Amino acid sequence: MNWRIIYYSEGVSQIIEEMPVGIRAVYARITAMMMEFGPRSLGNGLFEIRAKSQEGIARVFYCTLKEKKIVILHGFVKKSQKTPLKELAIAHKRSQEVQNENA
């Protein structure tokens, strides 16, 4: 059974759709592999996709649920070397909400 990707909200889906085309292409390849083979654990229930192209670098955070569901929580195009704590906090908060709703 393949994994299924769902989005936290329409707003998160829109953020992904508005990313530069090169970043979206890398994102699409990564998510296609995730749907077939599943995510690779990085610990503490929050995962990250790193999509890099000539237009820049994007980070997309997600978590997993039972029944092989991957929930895309938040994404942004990086403008600095470090991932802003604000962006990470949004992803953590949404991850906790999703996990609590599906407990």
CATH (domain of 92):
3.30.2310.20
Helices (H), 1-103: 10-17, 21-37, 85-101
Count the domains in the chain. Answer: 1
Q: What pLDDT score was predicted for residue 45? A: 82
3-state helix, strand, coil in the chain (%, to 5): 40, 30, 30
- DSSP reduced 3-state for 7: strand
Q: What pLDDT score was predicted for residue 82? A: 84
Whole-structure pTM value: 0.82
- pLDDT tens per residue, range 31-53: 999 998 888 665 678 898 888 88
| Residues 38, 77: Cα–Cα separation, whole Å | 24
C-beta separation of 70 from 35 below 8 A: yes
C-beta separation of 73 from 92 below 8 A: no
Residue range(s) defining the domain that contains residue 16: 4-101
